[in-house]
Amino acid sequence: MGEPGISGKLIAVEGLDGSGKSTQIYLLHQWLLGLGCKVFFSEWNSSVIVKDATRKGKRKHLLTPTTFSLIHATDFADRYERQILPMLKAGYLVLCDRYIYTSFARDGVRGCNPGWLRKLYGFAKNPDVTLYFKLPLTTALGRILEGRIKLQYFEAGMDLGLSIDIRESFQIFQRMVMDQYERMSEEFGFTIVDASRSIPIQQETIRGLISNRIDLSQYKQRVKR
Ligand code: ADP
């Protein structure tokens, strides 16, 4: 059932760093564009309005778990009200690389109350499809730790004081985030993607799944004759 005033559809991807979300949503985006669909893409933590405050707060380690959460919520609210919702109302397929569940997972680990977090983001629509990229922790860790030179302080959960070694802290933090995702999977009806499979196989599965769940012919641009 659609919601009043919203003819678009919202597709979100969620999962650990290294689970392959960005790779898959990029490929899905390109495929939908190729089909001639109206598509809009939005990425977590990317609002231009909040960027400077976020950077400053993180650099100077000024943020408590609550202010950290609120700053991400402000970022999200800005993107939601100025981009995501208007695009949904305009009949677009909106693709979100991370959605409110990222905050529920990460801020939950940082000690924010789960009920408070759910109320904080109460203005946001539930996605029509949430793809949860599930894979063994060691596989996700391997992809990040082998592939990248430097881990970021907050991404590794260093603010939680889990370990003075950033790689160890990252591993502990990711395990805690994964536990949160596992718990949310049923609560929010995530569609599970086996993220340990190859990139083309996952993409094929995702395209099939999206075509089954959404009538894509409704979202094709009309060509003026
Ligand atoms: P995320 O957005 O979930 O952090 P990315 O899509 O950025 O993940 O992928 C993280 C790393 O893992 C990248 O180097 C990417 O090329 C690699 N990768 C993505 N999907 C797979 C896969 N199915 N198998 C192996 N490596 C992958």
Torsion, Cα 12 14 17 22, to 10 degrees, reads -30
What tens digit of pLDDT does each residue of 63-100 get? 889 999 999 999 999 999 999 999 999 999 999 999 99
Kindly indicate whether the domain formed by 9-218 is annotated with CATH number 3.40.50.300: yes
What is the 8-class DSSP label of residue 217? G
> Could you tell me which of 215, 209, 221 has the C-alpha nearest to residue 131?
209
Task: Establish whether residue 5 lines the binding site of ligand 1, counting it when its CB lies within 6 angstroms of any ligand atom.
Answer: no
Ligand 1 pocket check for 139: Cβ under 6 Å = no
Question: What whole-number distance in Å separates Cα of residue 198 and Cα of residue 189?
Answer: 24
Distance 23 CA to ligand 1 centre (A): 6
pTM (two decimals): 0.95
Per-residue model confidence as pLDDT tens digits over 159-203 = 999 999 999 999 999 999 999 999 999 999 999 999 999 999 999
17 close to ligand 1 (CB < 6 Angstrom): yes
Ligand 1 centroid–CA 98 distance in Å is: 15
Residue ranges of domains in the chain: 9-218
Ligand 1 centroid vs 126 CA: distance in angstroms?
Answer: 25
Q: Provide the β-strand partners of residue 40.
A: 94
- The answer on pLDDT for 1 being more than 60 is no
**What is the C-alpha to C-alpha distance for residues 126 and 54, in angstroms, rounded to an integer?**
25
